[in-house]
């Protein structure tokens, strides 16, 4: 009986090592595909913003400039809300939306910076 346990141990270790390698490969593939999808989404968002800006500028430069300025102010407000020290006052819904929008914009900006679309 003791001899059977000794014989099973090397096989058990091999199976455990195989499971570990399989988990590593699956995690690596999932992370790689996720990075590719996020980069593609960031490139598509960047291209969509550029196309929208060009189309808007052709239609109405004043309105496009105003909307771009408004979006910039909103993103700056969201960034300020993220970096603001915690105080006694409560953050409102607009501040939460601005902070969330700024976070998503920074996230996509990071991935769009590695975009080799143009």
Q: What is the mean pLDDT of residues 26-46?
A: 88
- Sign of the torsion formed by the C-alpha atoms of 80, 83, 85 and 90: positive
pLDDT given at position 51:
93
Whole-prediction pTM value? 0.62
Summarize the chain as % helix, strand, coil (round to 5): 85, 0, 15
The closest alpha carbon to 110, from 35, 4, 12, 10, belongs to 35
Residues 6+ apart with CB under 8 A from 74: 98, 101
pLDDT given at position 74:
92
Residue 111 pLDDT level (bands cut at 50, 70, 90): confident
The closest alpha carbon to 86, from 75, 99, 74, belongs to 99
CB of 112 closer than 8 Å to CB of 45: yes
């Amino acid at each position: 009986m003791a001899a059977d346990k000794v014989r099973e141990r090397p096989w058990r270790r091999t199976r455990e090592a195989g499971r570990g390698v399989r988990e590593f490969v699956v995690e690596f593939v999932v992370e790689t595909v996720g990075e590719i999808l996020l980069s593609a989404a960031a490139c598509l968002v960047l291209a969509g913003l550029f196309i929208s800006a060009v189309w808007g500028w052709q239609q109405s430069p004043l309105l496009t400039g105003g909307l771009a300025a408004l979006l910039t102010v909103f993103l700056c407000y969201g960034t300020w809300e993220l970096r603001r020290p915690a105080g006694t006052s409560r953050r409102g819904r607009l501040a939460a939306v601005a902070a969330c929008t700024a976070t998503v914009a920074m996230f996509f900006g990071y991935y769009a910076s590695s975009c080799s679309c143009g």
